Amino acid sequence: MSDIILCTFNARYTHSSIGLRCLFANLKELQESAKIIEFTINSSVEDAVEQVLRENPKIVGIGAYIWNAVEVGDFIKIIKSVAPHIIIVTGGPEASYFPHRVDFSLSDYFVQGEGDVAFYELCRDIYDENPPKNKIIKAPMVDLSQVKLPYRYYSDEDVAHRYIYVEASRGCPYSCEFCLSSLDKKVRNIDIDIFLKELQILWDRGVRSFKFIDRTFNQGIERANRFMDFFLSKEPPYFIHFEVVPDNFPSSLKERIKQFPPASLQLEVGIQTLNPEISNTIYRKLNIEKIQRNLNFLDNETKAHLHVDLIVGLPGESLESFGKNLDMLYSMTKCEIQIGILKKLSGTTIDRHDKIYGMIYSSKPPYDILQNDLIPYEMMQKMKRFARFWDLVYNSGNFKKSVTYLFAEGKIYDGFFAFSEWIFAQTLSTWQISLDRLAKLLFDYIVNALHVSKDELKPIMTKDLLVVETRKLPKFLRYDTKETEKKEKRPSFNKRQLKHSAH
Ligand code: SF4
């Protein structure tokens, strides 16, 4: 039984909530009556409520994020209908800004902003029978030298099975209008010596997978170098993830990045657009020359695994411009290129473009753009599928060489768009396509639409797929293709038909 329950719905079991642990760490004398319970968005909300009620809590704090807002809304409704005496406190980015596009209205309190201290103070007031009259608690930014750090509240199970999220700073000096982090312009750092001690404790407990949630890891180079040195002094294997800005890689940082062994360092490099006019419109800093130079360095002189990203639907950006961005980015790097669809997050200033550019967004999380003046709804739908197939075929790395057949004459966007349209016409879905089926579809497209000979493509796709040594090749690559085709022309039966035809 716990008086205070801190809970949320994580996107996956392997994710752990650093936010809940920050609140828990700062509960002072109330900590012994508190407990963290985490669910995933695939959990049944009814079961989650049942589990929380079993604790007979007085206060339930729940974290609302873009990936779980619907589940949180349902959770609040159920809990308030069956146990209205429980005080619900909702926090997290989805609760922190208006409008709330998911109904959280039955929540008793909203903690808006950083809850590390504000949640404790609210609980204290409730315990003292002096609860605030205002439902909305405006939490000021905390002094990071005064708050307790959350790391010891990662359990042994977390250490064994989940990513461990760590945070050495809060805030971002940049102003990209679609991004919530742009609201918190002053970068606040956690004392590096204290932070490194915590990292060491986690390391000693066996953590080998660290995800830094700092928005711009390479802003303060001296600090970045010290983090790099910390990990470089350790025995691999380990895995570290940093988010970086593409234009700040001085030589001291480069020298360190070069030393990381394969599969140990992942860098998420935000690009979003390479069109100077568009980046200007959304107040995003862009220096193409530096991006080119640094991506070239990271790609060719380091073993770091890179993710770069582009956004579809930015105000004023046509698909022609997006296509040029993709072509240009592909010419700079062969790493994963994540294609995101613009989202309108409450609290950001991206909505100032709504009228000018005819921006229409979904009112449901994750609030994707539906259309704008330059990209009608039907095209936006096509681009969502493009992004999904791009992930399956290009980013998956399963078709490293074969996929390049789609990109004739450096026309990455045009080539992949045609393929994306074709494959969707075959599958009518972007989900639940097995690797074997995907391989066969890609093979058929390259052979039939691009007129590449089977004899040329077969060894290339075979080599692509056998990058994973234990992988079993799909049938059409295992046997003589003609034989396979003959076999495939036979009427096919699903399992039920086979059972019925067995006698
Ligand atoms: S997109 Fe990245 S650089 Fe821009 S404000 Fe957000 S965190 Fe900062």
Give, for ligand 1, the residue of 181, 242, 349 to mutate: max count of ligand atoms closer than 8 Å to Cβ.
181
For residue 171, the CA-to-ligand 1 centroid distance in Å is: 9
**Which is the closest atom of ligand 1 to the Cα of 270?**
2
Cα(474)–Cα(114) distance, rounded to whole angstroms?
51
First CA to last CA across the chain, in angstroms? 59
Cα distances (angstroms) measured from residue 188 to each of 114, 119, 179, 223: 13, 20, 18, 12
Determine the Cα–Cα distance for residues 221 and 242; give it in Å rounded to an integer. Answer: 13
Scan for tokens 């295992």, then name that residue.
478
Q: What is the predicted pLDDT for the residue at 482? A: 52
Which one of 170, 172, 186 would you pick to mutate in the ligand 1 pocket, going by the greatest count of ligand atoms within 8 A of its CB? 172
Could you give the C-alpha distances from 409 to 15, 319, 404, in angstroms and in order? 41, 19, 10
How remote is the CA of residue 492 from the centroid of ligand 1, in Å? 52
Q: 357: CA distance to ligand 1 center in Å? A: 22
pLDDT at 332: 96
Q: What is the pLDDT along the chain (503 residues), one digit of tens a residue?
A: 889 999 999 999 999 999 999 999 999 999 999 999 999 999 999 999 999 999 999 999 999 999 999 999 999 999 999 999 999 999 999 999 999 999 999 999 999 999 999 999 999 999 999 999 999 999 999 999 999 999 999 999 999 999 999 999 999 999 999 999 998 878 999 999 999 999 999 999 999 999 999 999 998 999 999 999 999 999 999 999 999 999 999 999 999 999 999 999 999 999 999 999 999 999 999 999 999 999 999 999 999 999 999 999 999 999 999 999 999 999 999 999 999 999 999 999 999 999 999 999 999 999 999 999 999 999 999 999 999 999 999 999 999 999 999 999 999 999 999 999 999 999 999 999 999 999 999 999 999 999 999 999 999 999 999 999 899 999 999 865 454 444 444 434 344 333 333 33
Ligand 1 pocket mutation, candidates 169, 216, 282, 285, criterion most atoms within 8 A of CB: 216
Q: Which atom of ligand 1 is nearest to the CA of 215?
A: 7
pTM beyond cutoff 0.85: yes
Which ranges of 187-318 would DSSP assign to H, the alpha helix?
A: 192-204, 221-232, 251-259, 276-281, 288-301
Token readout for 168 is 């050495």
In Å, how far are 31, 119, 372 from 124, measured between CA atoms? 11, 9, 48
Instruction: State which ligand 1 atom lies nearest to the alpha carbon of 245.
Output: 3
Report the distance separating Cα 468 and Cα 120, nearest Å: 49
Show the ligand 1 pocket: residues with CB < 6 angstroms: 172, 174, 176, 179, 181-182, 215-216, 245, 270
Amino acid at 35: K
Ligand 1, atom nearest to 173 Cα: 8
- 163-358 architecture in CATH? Alpha-Beta Horseshoe (3.80)
**CATH topology for the 4-138 domain:** Rossmann fold (3.40.50)
User: Ligand 1 centre and the CA of 182: distance in Å?
Assistant: 6
> What are the boundaries of each domain within the chain?
4-138, 163-358, 376-503
494's tokens: 């699903």
Pocket test for ligand 1, best of 176, 183, 314 (most atoms within 8 A of CB): 176
Hey, whose CA ends up nearest to atom 5 of ligand 1?
A: 182
Q: How far is the CA of 244 from the centre of ligand 1 (A)?
A: 9
Report CA(215)–ligand 1 centroid distance (Å): 7
**Hey, which of 169, 175, 179, 267 would you mutate to test ligand 1's pocket, going by the most ligand atoms within 8 Å of its Cβ?**
179
Å from CA of 482 to ligand 1 middle: 52
- Cβ of 181: how many Cβ atoms within 10 Å? 19
